[in-house]
A and B are shown apart, each in its own frame.
Chain A
């Protein structure tokens, strides 16, 4: 028994077609307010290319292949880690009126009191 996956010709095209449709539909539902996190989130998702980079580097047998493979993994890892970091940071910022960040409100009031005392 072999678990080798071979996707040739039309099977590959079917996968591409279905994935493209799924991407279009899933992304089509994202509201405009989330377009930046969505973009950097999908940016993170294509960081999966690092897996391909690792495969290429592990199979490298010349110095040139090793150098380019190293470059591929370096860039792929940067893509994945950086994409995750900025997306996660941005998403944590979105709040509703009910859940305002604590510091902001208290800060405003403190200022008002301060000014009142002065005058």
Chain B
């Protein structure tokens, strides 16, 4: 009776969780309802976790003597993992969001991989289908774990340069094939066919070791600007791994949640790749930097610097300004100062809009979150397709720490590695100001023709310092008028 009751409670809790996840994600389709969306999903999660303690009533006979220890371990792990991640997530700077998302995603992949490992070491997975799904989920989960850790290290500048070795693609392929072969050996052993040189448990260790290695090798060569794609891919991977392990454990909540996230991650990956006019495999398996050798001397003229204060005053007396933020804004932590400046412009009756490129920053939508943190209302923020026609009728386009997403070569120069990538038409504005650290090139190493065009002036310096000067200049003007 107790067991039947516990099954009903677990089943109902998981069903509720699955429903609340879907409902919560649905509510995320508008900024107004989104905050309640995540709370609904949170309630579902708590219900599912609490109900899962009822699994204790139906544990395997072999595990019964260990029950108290296992409960202790479970509660300890929940507290350390949950409380630790909670506080880090609450405190971390908004500019560091991409690496936090990467690391939490990796944790999910690691958990899915670990579940697969327990099933394999315990010999619980029975039959070819279960074994194959367990191995596949374990493989994807492990790749997602190590790949996300590398992505985190890159985003957090622990690893500063993409690491590219000769023949790396060949090595990656070899490691992948070896992993699959070892998976085949484990499968054969569990089904009782084939002679083995090593005990199965050793093969399982090798399997996960190779999978982790593959995740590292696959992520190391990928450059910073491709991170939006990478993060989306690993999000999809972890979802897929969770869904597959859900099948192994016969838990529909895991299956549904995992697959929904897998599809969501895939969709975002496709959107990001499209925004760079590259295929997903192109991002993952070719090294962008190598193909991006710009021809020197193709561009006439020189970059013309301008004082921050002059640019600021010009914007103050313009009737319309469009701001194009890029990763440089996040790197300089200048979002607050930017909005302070924008408020001064708005107070002076200047029409100000923000134009966001889909791959600006290091993860999908990073610029939107950054601006939201500074207090920029979201009705001032426009996406590529909605604003691109407005540049032609705009007085000033202010580009802050963005480069490739406004490079007109993507429209005109067939030999350019970014040719065909949809860009923001900032060059069509009457006047363009570019806030930039120095005369360096963009991530892709491509010269930006926009910087040399007659309607463009450069304001050199750290974005935050430049914006402080701009604010002072406009304020000084107001005081003089009064």
Task: Point out residues on A near B: beta carbons under 8 Å.
Answer: 1-9, 12, 15-16, 19-24, 26-62, 64-66, 68-97, 99-101, 104-105, 108, 111-112, 115-116, 118-119
Q: Which of B6-30 contact A (CB under 8 A)?
A: 7-8, 11, 14, 17, 21-22, 24-26, 28-30
- Inter-chain contacts of B232 with A (CB < 8 A): 39
B265 lies within 8 A of chain A by Cβ: yes
Residues A36 and B90 in contact in the complex (CB < 8 Å), given A4-B7, A79-B104: no
Task: Determine if A87 and B258 form an interchain contact, defined as CB atoms under 8 angstroms apart.
Answer: no
- Inter-chain contacts of A96 with B (CB < 8 A): 31-32, 377-379
Q: How far is the CA of A60 from the CA of B83 in the complex (A)?
A: 24
Task: Give the interface segment out of B114-122, B215-223, B411-419, B455-463.
Answer: B114-122
Smallest Cβ distance from B266 to chain A, in angstroms? Answer: 8
- Inter-chain contacts of B63 with A (CB < 8 A): 58-61
Residues A49 and B115 in contact in the complex (CB < 8 Å), given A33-B378, A44-B38, A95-B375: yes
B92 lies within 8 A of chain A by Cβ: yes
B285 lies within 8 A of chain A by Cβ: no
Residues A61 and B480 in contact in the complex (CB < 8 Å), given A69-B73, A82-B100: no
Which of B88, B251, B364, B378 is within 8 Å of A51, CB to CB? B251
Smallest Cβ distance from B349 to chain A, in angstroms? Answer: 15
Which of A16, A59, A74, A83 is within 8 Å of B255, CB to CB? A16
The closest CB in chain B to the CB of A48 belongs to B257
Residues A90 and B82 in contact in the complex (CB < 8 Å), given A15-B256, A16-B259: no
Residues A34 and B365 in contact in the complex (CB < 8 Å), given A28-B267, A39-B232, A60-B63: yes
Residues A78 and B85 in contact in the complex (CB < 8 Å), given A49-B108, A96-B379: yes
Task: Determine if B92 and A86 form an interchain contact, defined as CB atoms under 8 angstroms apart.
Answer: yes
Task: Determine if B62 and A108 form an interchain contact, defined as CB atoms under 8 angstroms apart.
Answer: no
Task: Determine if A45 and B268 form an interchain contact, defined as CB atoms under 8 angstroms apart.
Answer: no
Q: How far is the CA of A111 from the CA of B257 in the complex (A)?
A: 49
Mask for B22-55, Cβ within 8 A of A = 1, else 0? 1011101111101101110110010011001101
Q: How far is the CA of A69 from the CA of B249 in the complex (A)?
A: 14
Task: Determine if A57 and B73 form an interchain contact, defined as CB atoms under 8 angstroms apart.
Answer: yes
Residues A23 and B369 in contact in the complex (CB < 8 Å), given A3-B8, A16-B259: no
Which of B34, B114, B363 is within 8 Å of A34, CB to CB? B34
Smallest Cβ distance from A55 to chain B, in angstroms? Answer: 5
| A-B contacts besides A23-B261, A24-B263, A35-B358, 20 pairs, CB < 8 Å | A26-B26, A31-B29, A32-B383, A36-B365, A37-B38, A46-B108, A49-B245, A52-B115, A56-B249, A58-B70, A58-B71, A59-B55, A61-B62, A76-B108, A77-B81, A79-B111, A86-B97, A95-B372, A99-B377, A116-B479
Task: Point out residues on B near A: beta carbons under 8 Å.
Answer: 4, 7-8, 11, 14, 17, 21-22, 24-26, 28-32, 34-35, 37-39, 41-42, 45, 48-49, 52-53, 55-56, 59-60, 62-63, 65-67, 69-71, 73-74, 76-90, 92, 94, 97, 100-101, 103-105, 107-108, 110-112, 114-115, 117-119, 121-122, 124, 129, 145, 231-232, 235, 238-239, 242-243, 245-247, 249-268, 271, 339-340, 343-344, 347, 356, 358, 363-366, 368-369, 372-373, 375, 377-381, 383, 475-476, 478-480, 482
Q: How far is the CA of A12 from the CA of B29 in the complex (A)?
A: 28
The closest CB in chain B to the CB of A19 belongs to B259
Task: Determine if B261 and A78 form an interchain contact, defined as CB atoms under 8 angstroms apart.
Answer: no
- State the 10 A-B residue pairs at the shortest beta-carbon distance, nearest first: A85-B89, A35-B365, A82-B85, A77-B81, A23-B263, A23-B260, A72-B114, A19-B259, A73-B77, A35-B364
